[in-house]
Amino acid sequence: MSSFSVTETSARAKWISGTLVILYALITMIPLVWIMLTGFKSPADSISYPPKVVFEPTLEGYVNLFTTRTRQTQEYLEANPPQNWADEIVRQYDMVIVGPSKFGQRFMNSVIIGFGSTFLSIFLGTLAAYAFSRFRIPLADDLLFFILSTRMMPPIAVAIPIFLMFRNLGLSDTHLGMILLYTAVNISLAVWLLKGFIDEIPREYEEAALIDGYTRFQAFYKVVLPQAATGIASTAIFCLIFAWNEYAFAVLLTSATAQTAPPFIPTIIGIGGLDWPAVAAGATIFLLPVMVFTILLRKHLLRGITFGAVRK
Amino acid sequence: MAKIEIRNLRKEFGAFTAVRESSFTIEDGEFFMLLGPSGCGKTTTLRMIAGLELPTSGEILLDGEEISQRPPSQRDIAFVFQMFALYPHMNVRKNISYPLVSQGMPKAQVRAKVDEVAGILGIRDILDRPVGGLSGGDRQRVALGRAIVREPKAFMMDEPLGALDAEFREHMAEELRALHDRMGATTVYVTHDQLEAMQMGDKIVVMNNAVVEQFGTPQDIYDWPATMFVADFIGSPSMNFLRFDGKLAPGATHVGLNGHDMRVPELREGAEGKLVFGVRPEHITLTDAGDYRAEVLAAEYLGTTQIVTLATPNGEVKARIGAAQKVAAGETVGLAFRPDTVTVFDEASGRALRSAKNEGVLAHG
Ligand SMILES: Nc1ncnc2c1ncn2[C@@H]1O[C@H](COP(=O)(O)OP(=O)(O)OP(=O)(O)O)[C@@H](O)[C@H]1O
Ligand SMILES: [Mg+2]
């Protein structure tokens, strides 16, 4: 008899799977790392061939990302010595900083719209999922199917009607419009995922709370919500990632006031020639919030993705 | 403390009727058992009393007040769930405090009250532990603590020992009964284990198929079952049914079993057709002399007694007799039945015929 066991992995199997995971992680991380590195290169280094892995780091990309600059005459430059390190960097090109770029504002738009729509999706999704899970609702199955069916084609397929609708409602290029749009897309995912999580929470917990003297709503937020935290966290990550990365609708429906970072970053290229380090710096900063959010909720996410497979 | 009256209570789930016109009364301070096989509607009945389910029709009176449509928070009834339903995100102390906090009791008072209850239940040392790692018995105690801490009018317990292993059940059952005797609070306890019901209960309601079959003290129900279902469900081995055809007039004191006259308690009602002669195993004696003969099929030795299975002309019966008496399989013996313990049933309806002996019990059942 061999000592093969279904439940216990052998040391060799662990070693092999470990190596594979690390390899896969390396491969997927190369583009990411490359972008992050490019953000700290000088424009010359960023396009040198063969590509430079070792280089002298500079914050030029970041300065260019956050500022607008203009070329000045020698007399002006001599009369006005550099005020700070950022000034020093742009002086190499006989330029001075004249003000902030639009990136900060576009980034804030992304934050407002991304987190706003995530919050709204989760808020509405949790209430709807709770109702579907706990109450006898007429035509519940049909309603749930209808909610899911909104995901059966790519959202962009309805871009034209939405564009016209937004124009007529005055929602074009507004934060509210984008929050509503992303919420509408995310809510079906939120309802379905959260219903799964709430179904797994035994009703007895709420009933115990009802008996203990709480109202239905108190029982919901004092007993069910803490139990559903895992599900809510992982659903929130999925919603945020969609809203954060969404490009097509953002291009179509926003141009200035409510423009998010994804359509803005590529336009950096056009501002002062091919400024790859500034683009890379923009991409890096853009990545950070989702990365931090995901890392913070990582424990929940892992449980969330495997939900249903593991019974408590 | 409370008296609970259930009147014509009914519950439908869509087209399905889970509880059908049930009526019974739970006196103040009673330890009251709701007994019946799986799916008969015990939990549904209990949940209606507690307010977790609204009855389709009927009344629930708590100390004379109609409460059947009130939310659970306005009934002052505690509920102990089969799986305990301790709040998993709170420690033991928080779990027990929860009902008091909802009433807005000051913190210091909550603390004192929880400590007192923990003392009664012997769980002071685990108060600050999370509930996740507790043993079954301790979870049970915490669930009880959460129920008794608010001193409710009555306790509902849905198979509270069902999640414990057999050995521990008995111990916990004693603890529970002792706790009840000490506090004297009205308790309704659901179980499908007839032994548990007999041992612990002051009164028992036997349910079957959404219907209350009988209600009374364990002794009354055991001795004078109102239906064949109750006779069969209670007691182990259960009551023997000897089937016969006959016509009985009110006042009859004998029935004919395969040509032999058997004495029964004086009947108060007549019946005709397929009838059943019901006798408990311990009320059968084996004699060499008796006219009513049966063949011994098997004997099961139980220490002080033995269970003898016999084939009679009216069907198979089991007798419980002293372990000392020698019986051998294949041998033919005479049977005698203690006349004053017999119940005669009408087989078609399953109902016991009223007799001089059981009419007192059946009158309120
Ligand atoms: N919410 C519900 N919807 C539909 N049917 C239900 C519902 N609750 C209970 N029932 C049905 O009602 C019947 C009685 O259920 P109940 O839980 O009262 O039985 P029980 O006597 O407690 O059984 P058990 O010993 O298995 O706990 C069962 O057939 C059950 O399937
Ligand atoms: Mg039940």
Do B258 and B187 share a domain, yes or no?
no
pLDDT at A33 exceeding the cut of 60? yes
B41 lines ligand 1 (CB under 6 A): yes
**What values do phi and psi take at B79, rounded to 5?**
-135, 130
Q: How confident is the model at residue B172 (pLDDT cuts 50, 70, 90)?
A: confident
Beta bridge partners of B318: B309
Pocket probe for ligand 1: among B9, B40, B49, B207, the residue whose CB has the most ligand atoms within 8 Å is B40
Give the per-residue pLDDT at A311: 38
ipTM for the predicted complex comes to 0.81
Q: How confident is the model at residue A10 (pLDDT cuts 50, 70, 90)?
A: confident
At which of B197, B223, B249 does a domain end?
A: B223
Give the per-residue pLDDT at A310: 37
Contacts with B97 from chain A: Cβ below 8 Å: none
CA of B30 to the centre of ligand 2 (A): 21
A200 to chain B, any CB pair closer than 8 A? The answer is no
Do B218 and B300 share a domain, yes or no?
no
| Interval B164-177 mean pLDDT | 84
Tell me how many domains chain B contains: 2
Do B90 and B206 share a domain, yes or no?
yes
Do B260 and B297 share a domain, yes or no?
yes
Contacts with B50 from chain A: Cβ below 8 Å: 211
CATH code, domain carrying B289:
2.40.50.140
In a domain, B232, yes or no: no
pLDDT at A272 exceeding the cut of 90? no
Q: Which among B281, B291, B343, B292 is positioned nearest to B318, based on CA atoms?
A: B281
Among protein residues, the one whose CA lies closest to atom 24 of ligand 1: B38
Do B170 and B82 share a domain, yes or no?
yes
pLDDT digit string (tens) for B62-78? 999 999 999 998 899 99
Among protein residues, the one whose CA lies closest to atom 3 of ligand 1: B13
In a domain, B143, yes or no: yes
In a domain, B228, yes or no: no
CA distance A230 to chain B (A): 12
Domains of chain A as residue ranges with CATH: 104-267 (1.10.3720.10)
Do B156 and B37 share a domain, yes or no?
yes
In a domain, B230, yes or no: no
* Mean residue pLDDT across chain A: 88
Report how far Cα A265 is from the mean position of its chain's Cα atoms: 15
In a domain, B231, yes or no: no
Which one is predicted more confidently, B208 or A54?
B208
Give buried/exposed letters for B48-72 (b at 16+ CB in 10 A, else e). Answer: bbbbbbebeebebbbeeeebbeeeb
Contacts with A204 from chain B: Cβ below 8 Å: 81, 83, 85
pLDDT at A274 exceeding the cut of 80? no
Beta bridge partners of B24: B6
| Interval B43-50 mean pLDDT | 95
CA of B320 to the centre of ligand 1 (A): 36
| Interval B309-328 mean pLDDT | 94
Give the per-residue pLDDT at A306: 52
A202 to chain B, any CB pair closer than 8 A? The answer is yes
| Interval A52-79 mean pLDDT | 88
**Element (DSSP H or E) covering residue A104:** helix A103-134
B146 lines ligand 1 (CB under 6 A): no
Q: What are the DSSP calls for B15-45, one per residue?
A: TEEEEEEEEEEE-TT-EEEEE-STTSSHHHH
B87 lines ligand 1 (CB under 6 A): no
In a domain, B211, yes or no: yes
pLDDT at B151 exceeding the cut of 70? yes
Among protein residues, the one whose CA lies closest to atom 10 of ligand 1: B18
CA distance B224 to chain A (A): 37
Contacts with A210 from chain B: Cβ below 8 Å: 51-52, 71-73
In a domain, B341, yes or no: yes
Do B277 and B321 share a domain, yes or no?
yes
What atom of ligand 1 comes closest to residue B11's alpha carbon? 12
Count of helix runs (H) and strand runs (E) in chain A: 18, 2
- Chains A and B: how many Cβ contacts under 8 Å? 53
CA of B54 to the centre of ligand 1 (A): 14
Residue in chain A closest to B13 (alpha carbons) equals A136
In the DSSP assignment, the letter for residue A152 is S
| Interval A247-253 mean pLDDT | 93
H helix intervals, chain B: 42-50, 92-102, 107-121, 136-148, 166-183, 194-200, 218-223, 228-233, 359-363
pLDDT at A155 exceeding the cut of 90? no
Does B98 contact A207 at a Cβ distance shorter than 8 Å? no
- Structure tokens belonging to residue A143: 């309603």
Q: Which among B76, B24, B73 is positioned nearest to B45, based on CA atoms?
A: B24
- Structure tokens belonging to residue B51: 């307010």
Q: Which among A217, A243, A297 is positioned nearest to A119, based on CA atoms?
A: A243
Q: How confident is the model at residue A309 (pLDDT cuts 50, 70, 90)?
A: very low
Contacts with A209 from chain B: Cβ below 8 Å: 87, 98
B162: domain range? 4-223
What is the percent of chain B where pLDDT is above 90? 77
Of A209, A211, A214, the CB nearest to B78: A211
Give buried/exposed letters for A10-34 (b at 16+ CB in 10 A, else e). Answer: eeeeeeeeeeeeeeeeeeeeeeeee
B304 lines ligand 1 (CB under 6 A): no
Of B85, B102, B150, the CB nearest to A205: B85
Do B209 and B249 share a domain, yes or no?
no
Contacts with B99 from chain A: Cβ below 8 Å: 211-213
Do B215 and B281 share a domain, yes or no?
no
| Interval A107-128 mean pLDDT | 96
In the DSSP assignment, the letter for residue A101 is -
Do B210 and B262 share a domain, yes or no?
no
Among protein residues, the one whose CA lies closest to atom 5 of ligand 1: B13
First to last CA, chain A: 34
Q: How confident is the model at residue B7 (pLDDT cuts 50, 70, 90)?
A: very high
CA of B70 to the centre of ligand 2 (A): 22
At which of B223, B252, B273 does a domain end?
A: B223
CA distance A7 to B32: 47
Do B117 and B254 share a domain, yes or no?
no
B273 lines ligand 1 (CB under 6 A): no
| Interval A33-37 mean pLDDT | 92
What is the percent of chain A where pLDDT is above 90? 53
CATH code, domain carrying B67:
3.40.50.300
Give the per-residue pLDDT at B183: 86
pLDDT digit string (tens) for B274-297? 999 999 999 999 998 888 999 999
The four Cα atoms A107, A110, A113, A114 give a dihedral, to 10 degrees, of -130
* Burial of B28 per CB tally in 10 Å (0-12, 13-18, 19+): middle
Do B348 and B216 share a domain, yes or no?
no
In a domain, B229, yes or no: no
pLDDT digit string (tens) for B113-140? 999 999 988 899 999 999 988 888 889 8
Q: Which amino acid is at A227?
A: Q
Among protein residues, the one whose CA lies closest to atom 14 of ligand 1: B41
pLDDT digit string (tens) for A185-236? 999 999 999 999 999 998 989 999 999 888 889 999 888 998 898 889 989 9
At which of B166, B198, B223 does a domain end?
A: B223
B148 to chain A, any CB pair closer than 8 A? The answer is no
Pocket probe for ligand 1: among B9, B20, B22, B42, the residue whose CB has the most ligand atoms within 8 Å is B42
